[in-house]
Structure 1
Amino acid sequence: MTRSKTWIDNPSTPRFVPPPGAVDAHVHVFGPEADFPFSPKAKYHPEDATPEMLFALRDRLGFSRNVIVQASCHGTDNAATLAGIAKSNGAARGVAVVDPDIGMDELQRLHAGGIRGVRFNFLKRLVDHAPKDKFLEIARQIEPLGWHVVVYFEADLLEELMPFLEAIPTIVVVDHLGRPDIAQGPDGRDIAAFKALLDTHPHIWTKVSGAERLSIHGPPFDDFVEVVRPIVEAFPDRVLWGTDWPHPNMEHRVPDDGTLVDVIPRIAITEELQRKLLVTNPERLYWRA
C-alpha cells in the first residue's frame, strides 16, 4: 500500500487569531508506524503524523488545545491516540474507536487516558462493517461516563440512519455536517435535511468543518461559507470546528491549514459565536471532568 502525505509542512499564518483556550476539535495522529502499526484492515496507509508535529501546528495556528480523533487506519487499537493525549500535558482529549464487545473496565481505562467519546464510521470506502445494534450497545455503555458519540456518514445515508441517531442516548456529534453536496447551495436538499435533523433533535451537534473536502470551488471556500454560516447562527451551542489535520485521503487536494483557520470568522462572525464554537462548546464535551 502506498504511503501518502496530505499536509503542508509550513502552512500560512492565519490572519484570524483564535480566542484564548481555543480548541481544534478534530485532528488525528498517525503512528509513528514503528511504534503504532496500522490495522491490517486499513484502507489507506498515511505518512507518520506524530503528536509533536500536531502540537507544533497547534501553536502555529494559535490554538490552545486539540481533540484527537481515532482514525480508521488504526482500527480499534487506540494506542497512538492515547499516546498523543499523554504527551499533550493536559491540552488534548480524544475520541476512540472500540470493539463492539468492549467492557466497562476497558472503557474506564480509556477514560483515564483522556478519551471522552466514541466514533462510529459509516463510510463504506473506509470500513467494511458498521453494526448499528452493536453501536447502540456501546452508546448505552458510555452514557454513565458522560461521553458522547461521533458519527461519520455521507448525506445519502441520513434518512437510513435516522432511527439509529434517534436511539442514541448520549449527545451525538456529526462529522463534517454529514458531508452534504455543497453545490446544492444553502437551501439545497442535503443541507435542508440536515438542518431539519438539528431542528428536531436537540441532542445532535455537528462539526462545521471540512471546507477543504466539501467546497466545490476551493479556497477561499465561499460556497462552504454560504452554506455553513446559517447553521452556526441557528445552532450556536451545538457546533464544533476542527482542521482535520493531517487531512487523510486528501492527496490530490492538500489544504493550507492557515487558510482553513481564516474561514472561522466568516462562518462565526461575532466574538460570541467564535468563543462558543472554539472554547465553550468543546469544553462542555471534553474538559468538564
Structure 2
Amino acid sequence: MKSCLPPDPNPIRPAEALPAGAWDAHCHVFGPGDIFPYAPDRSYTPPDAPLERLTQLHNFLGLSRGVIVQASCHGTDNTAMLDAIARSQGRYRGVAIVDGSVTDEQLADLDRQGVRGVRFNFVAHLGGAPDLDVFDQVVHRIRHLDWHVVLHLDAQDILTYADRIERLQVPFVIDHMGRVRSESGLDQQPFRQLLELMRNPLAWVKVCGAERVSAGRRPFDDAMPFARTLIEAAPDRVLWGTDWPHPNISKDMPNDGELVDLMFRFCPDAQLLEKLLVTNPARLYGR
C-alpha cells in the first residue's frame, strides 16, 4: 500500500492578501489514524492531517471558510470530516462519500451536520469508476436536499462519461480541472469536452490541482492557461481550493502559499477573484 508524502510544512506568505470571506473549496482532513482509522481497503495511507493543522494553514493564508472533501482513504466513514466540521463552529462545510446502503435519514443527518454534496471517484489509481447504478441512485436521492455531486475524474473519463454527466439533474462539480494534462495543450479532446460541459448551467469546475495538471515542477505555471480558460468560460461557476494536504503527489509537493500566488497570476482581475473565492463558493456551500 502506497504511503503519501507529508505537505510542505513551511508555506510562504502570499504576495497579495486574499479578499475578505475567501473560501478554500477543496481541502481534506486525515485522521489522526488512532482516533479516526483509515479504510482497510484504501489504496494509499496519508500522513495524519488533523483539523488543527488545516485551520493553522487557513489562518496563515487568510482563508476564512473551507470545504472539507472526504477522500477515499477514509472510504464511506465520514466521521473525521464531520468531527472537523462540528469543531469548526460554522467555518467549514463538507462533501461526503456514501454508498448505496445510505438511507434518506442518514443523508438528512449529514445535511444537518454541514454536508452539502457527495463525491464519486472515477480515478483509476483510486479504484476506477463506481457502480454506476449506485451513482445514479444516490444522485437522484440528493436532489431534494439541494446538494451537488463532485466528480473526481481522469481526463479521459470526461469523454467516456460525457453523456451521463450531461444527463445529471443536480449541480455537478468537476475536480482539479478534470485532471487534464498540460503537455497535451488546450486543444486536447478532454479539455474541449470539459469546456463544452461548462455550457451546462448545472456545471461547476475547480480551477485547482495545478500540480496534477502540470507537466513540470513548482510553481506549475503550465497549468495557468487551463485555469484562465475555464474562468473565462464560466466565471459564475468556478471554485478554487488548496487540495491540502495534497495526497498522492509524487513529483513535486506544492507549497500552499505559492499556490495562492499562482491563483493570483491566473486570476488577476479583482471582480473575477471575488467570484472565484467568495461569491461562488458561498452560493454553493454557504447555507
Q: TM-score range by the shorter chain?
A: over 0.9
Please name the residue that 1:79 is paired with. 79
Q: CA deviation at 1:254?
A: 1.1
Kindly provide the CA deviation profile for residues 262-288 of structure 1, in whole angstroms up to 9, marking residues without a partner as x: 11122222111001000111011111x
* Percent identity between the two aligned chains: 45
Q: Distance in 2 between matches of 1:66 and 1:94?
A: 8
Q: CA deviation at 1:103?
A: 1.1
Please name the residue that 1:224 is paired with. 223
Q: Distance in 2 between matches of 1:167 and 1:39?
A: 32
Please name the residue that 1:65 is paired with. 65
Q: Is 1:16 equivalent to 2:10 in the alignment? A: no
**Structure 2 unaligned blocks of 5 or more:** none
Q: CA deviation at 1:223?
A: 1.3
Matches within 5 A, 1:240-255: 240-255=239-254
Contact 1:38 1:45 in 2 (8 A): yes
Please name the residue that 1:4 is paired with. 4
Please name the residue that 2:193 is paired with. 193
Kindly provide the CA deviation profile for residues 175-194 of structure 1, in whole angstroms up to 9, marking residues without a partner as x: 01111111122333332221
Q: CA deviation at 1:89?
A: 1.3
Q: Distance in 2 between matches of 1:263 and 1:85?
A: 28
Give, as a single letter, the amino acid of the residue that structure 1 aligns with 2:27: V
Q: Distance in 2 between matches of 1:98 and 1:134?
A: 10
Please name the residue that 2:93 is paired with. 93
Q: CA, structure 1 residues 156+229, in 2 after alignment: closer, same or farther (shift >3 Å)?
A: same
Q: Is 1:173 equivalent to 2:173 in the alignment? A: yes
Contact 1:229 1:266 in 2 (8 A): no
Matches within 5 A, 1:109-124: 109-124=109-124
Please name the residue that 1:234 is paired with. 233
Please name the residue that 1:50 is paired with. 50
Please name the residue that 1:144 is paired with. 144
SS in 2 for 1:84: helix
Q: Is 1:155 equivalent to 2:155 in the alignment? A: yes
Q: Distance in 2 between matches of 1:245 and 1:67?
A: 11
TM-score by length of 2: 0.96
Q: Distance in 2 between matches of 1:182 and 1:3?
A: 26
Off by >4 Å, runs of 4+ in structure 1: none
Kindly provide the CA deviation profile for residues 12-49 of structure 1, in whole angstroms up to 9, marking residues without a partner as x: 11112111010000001000111110111100011110
Contact 1:232 1:267 in 2 (8 A): no
Q: CA, structure 1 residues 154+40, in 2 after alignment: closer, same or farther (shift >3 Å)?
A: same
Q: Distance in 2 between matches of 1:187 and 1:2?
A: 34
Please name the residue that 1:204 is paired with. 203
Q: CA, structure 1 residues 250+129, in 2 after alignment: closer, same or farther (shift >3 Å)?
A: same
Q: Distance in 2 between matches of 1:74 and 1:260?
A: 25
Q: Distance in 2 between matches of 1:154 and 1:99?
A: 21
SS in 2 for 1:206: strand
Q: CA deviation at 1:167?
A: 2.4
Of residues 265-274 and 27-36 in structure 1, the stretch that sits farther from structure 2 once superposed is: 265-274
Q: CA deviation at 1:101?
A: 2.2
Give, as a single letter, the amino acid of the residue that structure 1 aligns with 2:41: K
Contact 1:204 1:238 in 2 (8 A): yes
TM-score by length of 1: 0.95
Q: CA deviation at 1:82?
A: 0.3
Kindly provide the CA deviation profile for residues 73-94 of structure 1, in whole angstroms up to 9, marking residues without a partner as x: 0000000010111111111000
Kindly provide the CA deviation profile for residues 70-129 of structure 1, in whole angstroms up to 9, marking residues without a partner as x: 000000000001011111111100000002121110001111111000001101211255
